[in-house]
Structure 1
Amino acid sequence: MPTPFRHTEPLPPKAATGRVAEVYAQAARDFGIPEPAPFVVLSSAPALVAPAWALMRESLLAGPGDRTGKEVAAFGVSQANKCRFCVDAHTMLLHATGDHALAERLARGREPADERHARVLDWARRTRVPGAAREPYPFPPEEAPGYLGTVLAFHFINRVVSSLVTENLLPADAQRLRPVRSLAGRSLSRTVRRTPVPGASLPLLDDPGRGPAWAAGTPVGPAYAALSATAPMGA
């Protein structure tokens, strides 16, 4: 039977224990997707999957800044990195936020109608080039941990997905059809519109430290510090 994975065969999620099982439990509760492929594919390396999940959770899901804006940022990063799986996922998640018009504009290759979203999208795309997305940022300073954490999380996740996960978000590439991606997004709307409690992923990390100054003491900092320390070691 075909799987969504390339070059690897992760253990079935039902076999997960310890930190990996808790990542799946948090993903089901806070992300609305019980077994997200980008984390399943890393499940053989608990020390890596935990901080990868933590950075995404604490920035995109629980961090400062509105979810729609951060989804636009994640879309922009994924588009710049040519990660089709992630581009389609964030299009679907934008539907889940309730901004269906924005989701479809992006799906059709158009720029956001809202000026702020357009600036966020442009900024996120430019983060692919070191030094090209400097201040002033297109969001208030107090939202920097959420936005910066989101783009950094997806620069990592995009590369994992592009290497180890197929491009098809849904079977038969069904997400390419507008009714399907809209309906799939709506099925996640209750979870997406609920902000999780910040910091719940931090107990999964091994003594991560406080993190960089831009994280401003939020849980994004330890999550970023943990992933920064672990990612260079590989799986």
Structure 2
Amino acid sequence: MGFLHISPVEPKAATGLAAEVYRQQAADVGLARMPALMALSSVPALLAATWSLLRESLMAGPLSRTEREVVALGVSTANRCPYCVGAHTLFLHATGDHALAETLLAGGRPADPRQAALYAWATGETRDGPDAPELLGTALAFHFINRMVTALHTPDVLPGGLQKTRLVRRAAGRTLARPARRLLPPGESLRFLHTPHADAPQPRDAPRAAAPAWAHGSPVGTAYAALTEVAGQGGALLTHPERVAEAVARWDGGHPPMGGSWLADALSGLPAAEAAPTRLALLAALAPYRITEGDVAAWPHTDESLVRLLAFGAVTAVRHAERTFSPAAAS
């Protein structure tokens, strides 16, 4: 249980924007440490945007938390993210739906027809998705978070893999029950977006990505636009970021074949110094669980540049996933 390739900023050591985000996260989630967010701490603006989308989609407002957790688990299962599957099994226990949590973890399907339809959509089995911005935002948030967590953290949620024990899962869920069932007011994370900080400077007149139509003017859309903008900036680390976009555009939503043949076209003709980061971005987009120590070592980097590069690959896949949603989401 720990981080891969990076040394994140711990909440007690955080300053500026990262410290502000950590404080709200601790209050709203009931956890002092959330590794899925800590992994992004070397890029405070990315940390803030990811937290904002997560909070406004998964946690805020009156929509059923159980339904949102079903979507989170469906996406995480499809993306083969064991950390997020484990974590959100615990959060589904926290909602009180213990049988549903265990059913999904075992590979089953919800008995409730609406929950079953949401799970089928989240796993990519169907294209007929919901209209609620919170559900669409949850799916997109986890398409991003799954990729980043898989690349930068080991699979275990609890020390020694304790989340694999049913009694521990139920007990952990009980400790999270009060914050998970609390009604959080929407929009309170938006103050972290597009705000200049010493550790995340950004001009107030900087161009901003437009909120998507599917968000219907909700805070979810503002947070999603901020995440796609900030994460997309990592493409500046590549000489040919269009290679990543073109490869992802051809993606059918499945998992790439074993071996590296599927990377060949995107890397063709690139010198080693350019091929290494392009390969990392492509792996982050389509197969983050295949990133190796060798892949990371082949590209000289800092924690900040590595997180920015992986975020670019991840958000390229997220944008592709957005376009494959229902007509309401793609408009």
TM-score, reference length from structure 2:
0.65
Instruction: Give the structure 2 partner of residue 223 of structure 1.
Output: 223
Conserved in 2, the CA contact under 8 Å of 1:169 and 1:175?
Answer: yes
State the one-letter code of the partner of 1:117: Q
Conserved in 1, the CA contact under 8 Å of 2:72 and 2:142?
Answer: yes
Shift of 1:65: 2.4
**Partners of 1:195 and 1:209 in 2: how far apart?**
29
- Give the secondary-structure state (helix, strand or coil) at the position aligned to 1:33: coil
Q: Give me the identity figure in percent.
A: 53
Instruction: Give the structure 1 partner of residue 314 of structure 2.
Output: none
State the one-letter code of the partner of 2:222: P
Conserved in 2, the CA contact under 8 Å of 1:59 and 1:220?
Answer: yes
What do the CA deviations read for 1:42-99 (whole angstroms, capped 9, x no partner)?
A: 1010111100000010010014621000100000000000000000111110000000
Conserved in 1, the CA contact under 8 Å of 2:70 and 2:119?
Answer: yes
Equivalent residues in 2 for 1:185-224, closer than 5 Å: 185-206=173-194, 208=208, 211-224=211-224
State the one-letter code of the partner of 2:12: K
1:101 to 99, 112, 116: 99
What do the CA deviations read for 1:88-147 (whole angstroms, capped 9, x no partner)?
A: 1111100000001101111222111111111110000118xxxx62x4x3x4x4xx1100
- Asked which structure has the greater CA Rg, the reply is 2
Give the root-mean-square deviation of aligned CA atoms: 1.5
Conserved in 1, the CA contact under 8 Å of 2:66 and 2:92?
Answer: yes
Shift of 1:34: 1.9
Shift of 1:27: 1.1
1:30 to 28, 31, 34: 28
Number of aligned positions between the proteins: 223
Instruction: Give the structure 2 partner of residue 71 of structure 1.
Output: 69
State the one-letter code of the partner of 2:41: S
State the one-letter code of the partner of 2:97: D
Instruction: Give the structure 1 partner of residue 315 of structure 2.
Output: none
Equivalent residues in 2 for 1:134-149, closer than 5 Å: 135=128, 137=129, 139=130, 141=131, 144-149=132-137
**Partners of 2:55 and 2:124 in 1: how far apart?**
23
Find out whether 1:48 has 2:46 as its counterpart: yes
Instruction: Give the structure 2 partner of residue 57 of structure 1.
Output: 55
Moved over 6 A (4+): none
Shift of 1:11: 2.4
**Partners of 2:33 and 2:51 in 1: how far apart?**
12
Q: Which moved more, 1:86-95 or 1:198-207?
A: 198-207
Q: Which moved more, 1:178-187 or 1:31-40?
A: 31-40
Conserved in 2, the CA contact under 8 Å of 1:146 and 1:220?
Answer: yes
Conserved in 1, the CA contact under 8 Å of 2:58 and 2:138?
Answer: yes
Find out whether 1:16 has 2:31 as its counterpart: no
Find out whether 1:183 has 2:171 as its counterpart: yes
**Partners of 2:209 and 2:154 in 1: how far apart?**
34
Q: Which moved more, 1:54-63 or 1:25-34?
A: 25-34
Instruction: Give the structure 2 partner of residue 110 of structure 1.
Output: 108
Instruction: Give the structure 1 partner of residue 90 of structure 2.
Output: 92
Conserved in 2, the CA contact under 8 Å of 1:64 and 1:146?
Answer: no
State the one-letter code of the partner of 1:215: A
Conserved in 1, the CA contact under 8 Å of 2:61 and 2:185?
Answer: no
**Partners of 2:110 and 2:7 in 1: how far apart?**
38
Conserved in 2, the CA contact under 8 Å of 1:97 and 1:192?
Answer: yes
Pair 1:68–1:215, CA change in 2 (3 A): same
**Partners of 1:120 and 1:39 in 2: how far apart?**
25
- Give the secondary-structure state (helix, strand or coil) at the position aligned to 2:123: helix
1:170 to 138, 158, 169: 158
The unaligned stretches of length 5 or more in structure 2 are 195-203, 235-307, 309-331
1:120 to 118, 121, 130: 118
Pair 1:158–1:63, CA change in 2 (3 A): farther
**Partners of 2:30 and 2:4 in 1: how far apart?**
24
TM-score, reference length from structure 1:
0.91
Conserved in 2, the CA contact under 8 Å of 1:63 and 1:220?
Answer: no
**Partners of 1:62 and 1:156 in 2: how far apart?**
19
